[in-house]
């Protein structure tokens, strides 16, 4: 009975998490014109069911409504030069509907879609090609045009929702948004990247223990090195724990989600049971949340998940995990895992050229479930292996691991920025 209650509680928790994430507002973060298309960049995946479109006549207008969405910044259209005889209007049409209107002097065929692998972007084709000029009737080089008239670029209130003077800056959700984003600039500065570092275990949960060394201590030392380096590099860093105390697995991702983290990195040390492999197994492994495809990934996940459930719940835990690990962040988490993993090897091998790569692997870790952000778990080495254990205690080796994690994070962020620009 107790077991069944626990399973029911877990389902409720997961259901609540999903319900919240489904209904959470998606912010429209920026708009660009790229290759003759309008490119709308949202914070999160845009669901097709949340988009509706229709046309109006005299003048001809193509209207798009994005449900469960909010405008991130009222200056989104400010630096956007509309092509020939085209006008854009953007409004917070209703509290949770963003409306985009494309006005044209002619009826045009409009294709609109999310590019593959970029489910947070929505492309809309425009009536005239960029640089179109009626007089020459050919495509010419785009000339810098004068800014659109104020009336065309400001946020238009098409239905009164208690906004004074069309000003969304007085709306509570907008104020709240700005609290965390004092910079209105859409291009994130380093400072505005929020990175959560999660040192595994803590307090009564020592994690793996071997040769008098506890996983919880090693990983906290490494996590603190990572924190200091990231702070020095100018990032905003949050630690799920910064001392030796216990933090529930579910609270670690909640912590991350509340702080709207851009990246979540959990740091652990590996171990194998008392068998013939105990002295042999070694190497660094990096995991991202997904179904475990290998026995090793399953074993490591079971070990790290232990803090949540007792052994007898193993089966029900797997059933639940299999249902929740198909989130949209998997591809990004995989990319982050690859960047961090390779960078750790690059640095640790400057000290120990034979440092083994255990690879980048998918695994169903509880600590990564529910993270609305690219999330990985690094197993920095086996403390059951005497040689690796000795290395992991050394400040110089911990520093190399930390440097690798930081470089991997920077590389990942740089690549995402390049993709957006």
Residues that bind Zn ion (CB under 5 A): 200, 207, 268, 304
Contacts of 368 (CB under 8 A, 6+ apart): 253, 264, 266, 287, 288, 289, 333, 375, 376, 377
Return the number of the residue (37 or 215) whose C-beta is nearest Zn ion.
215
- Cβ at position 378, least distance to Zn ion in Å: 10
CA neighbor of 72 nearest in space, from 210, 157, 183 = 183
Tokens of 214: 């506890």
Q: How far is the CB of 304 from Zn ion (least distance, A)?
A: 5
Nearest residue to Zn ion, using CB? 268
Contact in structure between 267 and 199 (CB atoms under 8 Å):
yes
What's the min distance (Å) between Cβ of 317 and Zn ion? Answer: 16
Strand partners, 265: 197, 376
Q: Which is nearer to Zn ion, 199 or 345 (CB)?
A: 199
Closer CB to Zn ion, 115 or 211, in the complex: 211
Closer residue to Zn ion (CB): 131 or 206: 206
Euclidean distance between CA atoms 151 and 184, whole angstroms: 21
Toward Zn ion, which CB reaches closer, 169 or 209?
209
Least spacing, CB of residue 197 vs Zn ion, in Å: 14
What is the closest distance, in whole angstroms, from the C-beta atom of residue 216 to Zn ion in the complex? Answer: 8
Residue 127 exposed, middle or buried by CB count within 10 Å (0-12, 13-18, 19+): buried
DSSP element (H, E) containing 357: strand 357-363
Is it true that the peptide bond before 59 is cis, omega within 30 degrees of 0? yes
Q: Which is nearer to Zn ion, 90 or 249 (CB)?
A: 249
Structure tokens at 30: 């920026």
In whole angstroms, give the CA distance from residue 81 to residue 59: 20
Query: Whole-number minimum distance, CB 200 to Zn ion, in Å?
Result: 4
């Amino acid at each position: 009975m107790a077991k069944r209650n626990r399973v029911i509680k877990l389902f409720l928790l997961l259901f609540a998490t999903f319900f919240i994430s489904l209904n959470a507002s998606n912010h429209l973060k920026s708009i660009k014109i790229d290759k003759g298309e309008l490119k709308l960049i949202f914070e999160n995946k845009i669901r097709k069911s949340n988009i509706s479109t229709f046309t109006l006549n005299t003048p001809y207008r193509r209207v798009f409504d994005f449900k469960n969405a909010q405008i991130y910044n009222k200056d989104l259209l400010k630096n956007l030069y509309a092509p020939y005889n085209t006008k854009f209007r953007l409004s917070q049409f209703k509290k949770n509907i963003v409306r985009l209107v494309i006005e044209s002097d002619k009826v045009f065929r409009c294709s609109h879609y999310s590019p593959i692998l970029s489910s947070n972007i929505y492309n809309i084709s425009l009536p005239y090609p960029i640089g179109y000029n009626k007089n020459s009737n050919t495509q010419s080089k785009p000339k810098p045009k004068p800014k659109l008239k104020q009336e065309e670029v400001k946020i238009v209130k098409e239905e009164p929702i208690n906004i004074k003077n069309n000003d969304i800056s007085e709306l509570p959700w907008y104020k709240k948004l700005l609290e965390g984003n004092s910079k209105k600039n859409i291009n994130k500065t380093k400072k505005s990247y929020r990175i959560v570092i999660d040192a595994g275990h803590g307090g009564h949960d020592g994690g793996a223990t071997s040769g008098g060394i506890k996983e919880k201590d090693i990983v906290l030392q490494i996590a603190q090195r990572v924190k200091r380096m990231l702070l020095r590099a100018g990032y905003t860093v949050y630690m799920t724990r910064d001392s030796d105390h216990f933090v529930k697995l579910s609270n670690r991702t909640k912590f991350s989600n509340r702080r709207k983290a851009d990246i979540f990195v959990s740091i652990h040390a590996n171990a194998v049971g008392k068998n013939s492999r105990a002295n042999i197994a070694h190497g660094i492994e990096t995991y991202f949340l997904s179904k475990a495809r290998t026995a090793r990934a399953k074993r490591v996940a079971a070990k790290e998940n232990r803090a949540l459930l007792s052994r007898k719940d193993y089966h029900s835990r797997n059933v639940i995990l299999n249902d929740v690990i198909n989130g949209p962040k998997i591809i990004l988490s995989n990319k982050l895992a690859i960047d961090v993993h390779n960078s750790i090897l690059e640095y640790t091998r400057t000290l120990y050229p034979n440092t083994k790569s255990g690879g980048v692997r998918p695994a169903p870790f509880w600590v990564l479930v529910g993270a609305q952000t690219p999330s990985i778990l690094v197993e920095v080495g086996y403390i059951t292996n005497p040689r690796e254990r000795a290395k992991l205690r050394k400040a110089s080796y911990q520093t190399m691991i930390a440097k690798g994690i930081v470089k991997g994070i920077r590389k990942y962020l740089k690549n995402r920025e390049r993709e957006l620009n």
